[in-house]
Structure 1
Amino acid sequence: MTQIPRLFVDAALHAGARLELPREQAHYLVNVMRKEAGAPVRLFNGRDGEWQAVIGAASRKGASLVVETRLREQTGVPRLRLCFAPVKKARTDFIVEKATELGVAVIQPVITRRTQSERVRTDRLLALATEAAEQTERLCLPVIGEPVTLERLLADWPEDEHLIFCDEAGDGEGAWGGASGRARPMLDLLEEQTAPSGGWTILIGPEGGFDETERAHLRSLPFVHPVTLGPRILRADTAAVAALTLWQGVLGDWQSADA
């Protein structure tokens, strides 16, 4: 079966619209996918649904498209935000890519006391999210927030939003505080939500976890739900995928027949 390319464009989509593609997308269509004039292309912009277009002109210097018919109406994603402490470059890339695939609405880097990398290129993360959205049939891009400190994030918290705090630490001595004082399993929390309302945020800490002051502050806040992801200590990127998967499976749009 011939693969039809799928592209995100930042332009209005309607029947008859004509679009000049940026150089990078034109290069992808013409030189990578080897598409010629008349070949179909699927487009989405996060507002107008998905449309079929055809290549009107193509050369090594550029390409233009003519929009024809709408294939799907616009749909959104659940009100789910992922907040995470940036880690090493490849692992941060993985988190952003998988969060996009898993239907997160907002991806927010958070600077904690043990954050390994405070330099975050949000333009690069948006490019990664765009590619992931194009490949996974998603009709919108996640919002990529500029990095904020944990203190600022919590101080500006929305009144109707729940915060799931992935807390693998215990209160005792030894590695990660031993077994005492561990949080409840995340699945237990989710299955109690018979009529969930408002938004949800999942917070993933840095390699090494939150420090004692941060952890105590988080646990003192009324909107915070400390949870554990099992008996093993997960890497930050693994924890993000595990937590998002649990949430989508219980409260998210995986329950929809249209998902």
Structure 2
Amino acid sequence: MPEKKPCARLFLDSELIADQMIKLDRDQSHYLAQVMRVRSGEEIALFNGRDGEWRAVVSNVERKAVTLACRSRLREQADESDVWLAFAPLKKTRIDFVVEKATELGVARLLPVITQYTAAARVNVERLSARVIEAAEQCERLTVPSIEPPCALIELLSSWPGERTLFVLDETGAGRPITEALMECAPTTDGSFPPCGFLIGPEGGFSSSELDAVRKRAFVTTVGVGPRILRAETAALAALACWQAIVGDWR
């Protein structure tokens, strides 16, 4: 008979060890007690991005405080994809969609970038962090992507690690086909692929001066995602899906 699946999955930013008693904070307690309606004895899966995934048992349920008993490790911590996504912020529901789906597609770091034509320059990092945690809990990954504070495009380019290829989606059609560029990524000696990132511009595209600045960087490869004009969130997910299929963990 297959083992019963935990009734919920939670991210905790604390150490996870066997026989540890964990008192959840008010929000997580409310979620388990009032939304999921858990009862004593039910199992919960826990992860913290460092110690793998753990099985915990609900020890006590109160309206504002749920206590768990951490029992045993379900999965060891494993290496995950090392891909970053830099993107021009979008309006609320659309940026929520981007960070949620990017989390599901394995992104390790999210970097909002302010460009000349960015329509929504204000970014609520705390709110987006909560969305990312929810997405990581749902998709059963073992890590949670980090979200950086917004920065200007020139700051991103200046601080970008030279050994990390930056694939910039170029809506002018001057970039190489993304699949062609990705297939030329050479694996390292252990069979893994080198770190990379993607930069997605705003709805209005990059300005000509921004494209000039981008193309001058040795670590940049400009790419295209087909003959159609895609919305920014569609372009981001298309690029990540191509990456996962060609060099990521879909292989």
Shorter-chain TM-score tier? over 0.9
Q: Is the 8 A contact 2:52 2:74 kept in 1?
A: yes
Instruction: Say whether 1:244 aligns with 2:248.
Output: no
Give the TM-score, by structure 1 length. Answer: 0.91
The percentage of counterpart residues that share the same residue type is: 49
- Distance change (3 Å), C-alpha of 1:37 and 1:112: same
Alpha-carbon distance in structure 1 between the residues aligned to 2:229 and 2:212: 19
Correspondence list, 1:79-228, <5 A: 79-170=82-173, 182-195=174-187, 198-228=194-224
Alpha-carbon distance in structure 2 between the residues aligned to 1:61 and 1:252: 41
What is the aligned partner in structure 2 of residue 232 from structure 1? 228
Alpha-carbon distance in structure 1 between the residues aligned to 2:19 and 2:218: 52
1:92 partner SS: helix
Give the TM-score, by structure 2 length. Answer: 0.94
Q: Is the 8 A contact 1:76 1:139 kept in 2?
A: no
Letter of the structure 1 residue corresponding to residue 152 of structure 2 = T
Q: How many Å apart are 1:195 and its aligned residue?
A: 2.6
Q: Deviations over 1:26-77 (max 9, x none)?
A: 1111111111111111100011100000111101121010000100001232
What is the aligned partner in structure 1 of residue 18 from structure 2? 15
- Equivalent pairs counted in the alignment come to 244
Structure 2 gaps of 5+ residues are none
Q: How many Å apart are 1:231 and its aligned residue?
A: 0.2
Alpha-carbon distance in structure 1 between the residues aligned to 2:15 and 2:154: 39
Q: Is the 8 A contact 1:85 1:111 kept in 2?
A: yes
Q: Is the 8 A contact 2:164 2:219 kept in 1?
A: yes
Alpha-carbon distance in structure 2 between the residues aligned to 1:183 and 1:42: 44
Q: Is the 8 A contact 2:6 2:45 kept in 1?
A: no
- Distance change (3 Å), C-alpha of 1:145 and 1:163: same
2:250 partner SS: helix
1:47 partner SS: coil
Q: How many Å apart are 1:3 and its aligned residue?
A: 5.8
Alpha-carbon distance in structure 2 between the residues aligned to 1:154 and 1:2: 44
Alpha-carbon distance in structure 1 between the residues aligned to 2:108 and 2:7: 26
Alpha-carbon distance in structure 1 between the residues aligned to 2:212 and 2:124: 30
Letter of the structure 2 residue corresponding to residue 207 of structure 1 = E
Q: How many Å apart are 1:220 and its aligned residue?
A: 1.9
Structure 1 gaps of 5+ residues are 171-181
Divergent runs of 4+, >4 A: none
Alpha-carbon distance in structure 2 between the residues aligned to 1:238 and 1:73: 33
Alpha-carbon distance in structure 2 between the residues aligned to 1:168 and 1:77: 30
Q: Is the 8 A contact 1:76 1:140 kept in 2?
A: no
Alpha-carbon distance in structure 2 between the residues aligned to 1:188 and 1:103: 21
Q: How many Å apart are 1:218 and its aligned residue?
A: 0.9
Q: How many Å apart are 1:194 and its aligned residue?
A: 3.4
What is the aligned partner in structure 2 of residue 179 from structure 1? none
Instruction: Say whether 1:63 aligns with 2:55.
Output: no
Q: How many Å apart are 1:217 and its aligned residue?
A: 1.3
- Distance change (3 Å), C-alpha of 1:217 and 1:28: same
Letter of the structure 1 residue corresponding to residue 178 of structure 2 = M
Q: Is the 8 A contact 1:111 1:147 kept in 2?
A: yes
Letter of the structure 2 residue corresponding to residue 195 of structure 1 = P
